[in-house]
């Protein structure tokens, strides 16, 4: 398993999927996870609501949420647990990544050893 959703994250993602564009094919609509260069630590997490996987995407099912994982990001996302936190000061998705050698205080970017690109300072 590459990415695991907590119950709260699954419920929140299902709500986003239900409220997403009706133009997307409901039978293949899902959440696409990927990692891109950026953030203050070098890599940043990304998620999109998509109507179908892209070529090469890994396809998983977590409860009632279909997950697509970008193939080139899969090694950096292997074992990631995605949770959803809701509080007075901040709310949002939190990524716990066993591959991260360091992460930013924002929780949205991370380093992964020597392969990490240069980060951009938080503003």
Higher-pLDDT residue of 100, 104: 100
For residue 11, how many other CB atoms are within 10 A of its CB? 14
CA distance 104 to 81: 17
Res 64: pLDDT: 93
Res 106: pLDDT: 60
Structure token pair of residue 75:
């090694």
- Band (pLDDT 50/70/90 cuts) for residue 37 is confident
List 12's β-bridge partners, or say none: none
Whole-number average pLDDT of the chain? 84
Domains of the chain by range and CATH?
3-112 (2.60.300.12)
Across residues 31-35, what is the average pLDDT? 95
């Amino acid at each position: 398993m590459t990415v695991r959703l907590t119950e709260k994250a699954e419920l929140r993602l299902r709500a986003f999927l239900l409220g997403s564009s009706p133009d997307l094919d409901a039978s293949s609509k899902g959440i696409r996870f990927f990692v891109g260069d950026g953030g203050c630590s070098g890599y940043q997490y990304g998620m999109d609501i998509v109507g179908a996987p892209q070529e090469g995407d890994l396809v998983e099912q977590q409860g009632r949420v279909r997950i697509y994982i970008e193939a080139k990001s899969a090694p950096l996302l292997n074992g990631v647990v995605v949770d959803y936190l809701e509080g007075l000061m901040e709310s949002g998705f939190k990524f716990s990544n066993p591959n991260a050698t360091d992460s930013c205080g924002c929780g949205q970017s991370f380093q992964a050893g020597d392969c990490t690109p240069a980060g951009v300072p938080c503003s």
